[in-house]
Amino acid sequence: MIDREGNEILVFDEYTRIVSYAPSLTEILVDMGYGDKIIAMTLVDQWDGAEEGTMLFDMMNPDIEGIVALEPDLILTTNLTAAGGSNPFDVLGDSTTIAVIPTANSLMGIYEDITFIGELLGEQEKAVEIVGDMQMSLVEFMQATAGLEEAKTVYFEISPSPYMYSTGKGTYLNEMIEMVGAQNALSVSDWVAITDEMVVEANPDVIITNVDYVDDPIGEIMSRNGWDSITAIQNGDVYQVDKLRTSLSNHNVILGMQEIARVVYPDLYE
């Protein structure tokens, strides 16, 4: 079997000791019914059903020796693990399946990640169900906005002032904005370093942030110098949405899309 990075991997009949290297992967495992098989996951995982004694590790600086000592039979990891050129989990040899799943940059990539995990676990039907539910939700979004004469423009902020960043073309977050019937005001490239002048010139109808680590992110945006001419500021259309639902590349982006849709088009999405 070939993993999502193109590596040939060993596959076993069943997995009972799983290490999840990213919250996005943990959520997929849980919804496929494998939550009780997870023996290690990241500190930022927010799954309340974890078994007592489950190891928690820093995704950016994991305890490799500690994870290896757990004797996992499956490690789902990201391309960050081998950023230095080699995968540190290779020391486990033929006793462990090590599958690399790079972060998806599109909704199609998310479908393919879920399908891959389903095939790896022998849960193809469950994967088809999860992907099918996603696709049905996308159809509902498109139907809700089919009669729009003009799309609202959205500035989506993922990092606050003074180091502002947004998302653009070539990302699933950009697709999420477009699929709910809106237009990304700053879609010039994938991840965009933002200046005040760029946002003022774009003059978005709605401003959305998923920043959750500053006090009153909405108030901070509303009070920025020079932003008072922006339509979204004048109309008070500045909103905060859930960080995880709009930043983890898995099926739960649908929940993030629902939040985006409700603040951009409250009359269409109740």
Radius of gyration of the chain (CA): 20
Q: Is the pLDDT of residue 261 over 80?
A: yes
Q: pLDDT averaged over the chain? A: 92
Complete DSSP assignment for 15-80: -SSEEE-SHHHHHHHHHTT-GGGEEEEETT---TTPPTT-EEE-TTS--HHHHHHT--SEEEE-TT
Q: What's the pLDDT score for residue 83?
A: 55
The answer to whether residues 169 and 187 touch, using CB atoms and an 8 Å cutoff, is: yes
Say whether both 157 and 210 belong to one domain: yes
CA distances (Å), origin 83, targets 97, 132, 143, 147, 180: 19, 33, 42, 46, 35
Angle, helices 107-121 vs 124-144, to 10°: value is: 160
The answer to whether residues 220 and 207 touch, using CB atoms and an 8 Å cutoff, is: no
Would 214 be classed as within a structural domain? yes
Would 218 be classed as within a structural domain? yes
Select from 103, 137, 156 the last residue of a domain.
103
Quick: pLDDT tens for 12-33.
Answer: 999 999 999 999 999 999 999 9
Q: What is the mean pLDDT of residues 68-86?
A: 80
Q: What's the pLDDT score for residue 14?
A: 96
Q: In this structure, are strands 165-167 and 18-20 parallel, antiparallel, or unpaired? A: unpaired
Say whether both 244 and 171 belong to one domain: yes
% of the chain residues with pLDDT over 90: 76
Q: How far apart are CA 42 and CA 21, in angstroms?
A: 6
Would 23 be classed as within a structural domain? yes
Say whether both 250 and 166 belong to one domain: yes
Q: What's the pLDDT score for residue 81?
A: 65
pLDDT level of residue 192 (50, 70, 90 thresholds): confident
Say whether both 98 and 152 belong to one domain: no
Would 12 be classed as within a structural domain? no
Q: Is the pLDDT of residue 259 over 80?
A: yes
Say whether both 165 and 259 belong to one domain: yes
Q: What is the mean pLDDT of residues 63-89?
A: 81
The answer to whether residues 117 and 97 touch, using CB atoms and an 8 Å cutoff, is: no
Going by C-beta distance under 8 Å and a sequence separation of 6 or more, which residues neighbour residue 93? none
Would 110 be classed as within a structural domain? no
Q: What's the pLDDT score for residue 270?
A: 72
Q: How far apart are CA 216 and CA 93, in angstroms?
A: 49
Would 230 be classed as within a structural domain? yes
Would 44 be classed as within a structural domain? yes
Say whether both 153 and 83 belong to one domain: no
The answer to whether residues 156 and 173 touch, using CB atoms and an 8 Å cutoff, is: yes
Q: What's the pLDDT score for residue 84?
A: 56
Q: What's the pLDDT score for residue 58?
A: 83
Quick: pLDDT tens for 6-17.
Answer: 999 999 999 999
The answer to whether residues 187 and 168 touch, using CB atoms and an 8 Å cutoff, is: yes
The answer to whether residues 250 and 23 touch, using CB atoms and an 8 Å cutoff, is: no
Q: What's the pLDDT score for residue 244?
A: 93
Ranges of beta strands (E only) in the chain are: 18-20, 38-42, 55-57, 74-77, 97-100, 153-159, 165-167, 183-184, 191-193, 206-209, 238-240
Say whether both 77 and 185 belong to one domain: no
Say whether both 180 and 84 belong to one domain: no
% of the chain residues with pLDDT over 70: 96
Going by C-beta distance under 8 Å and a sequence separation of 6 or more, which residues neighbour residue 7? 100
Select from 45, 76, 103 the last residue of a domain.
103
Say whether both 209 and 155 belong to one domain: yes
Say whether both 99 and 151 belong to one domain: no
Quick: pLDDT tens for 194-248.
Answer: 999 999 999 999 999 999 999 999 999 999 999 999 999 999 999 999 999 999 9
Say whether both 99 and 154 belong to one domain: no
Would 115 be classed as within a structural domain? no
Q: What is the mean pLDDT of residues 246-261?
A: 96
Q: How far apart are CA 9 and CA 2, in angstroms?
A: 6
Q: How far apart are CA 46 and CA 20, in angstroms?
A: 13
Residue 49 sits in a domain whose CATH number is: 3.40.50.1980
What domain count does the chain have?
2
- Domain housing 39: 18-103
Select from 71, 103, 135 the last residue of a domain.
103
Say whether both 99 and 208 belong to one domain: no
Quick: pLDDT tens for 81-126.
Answer: 655 556 777 778 788 999 999 999 999 999 999 999 999 999 999 9
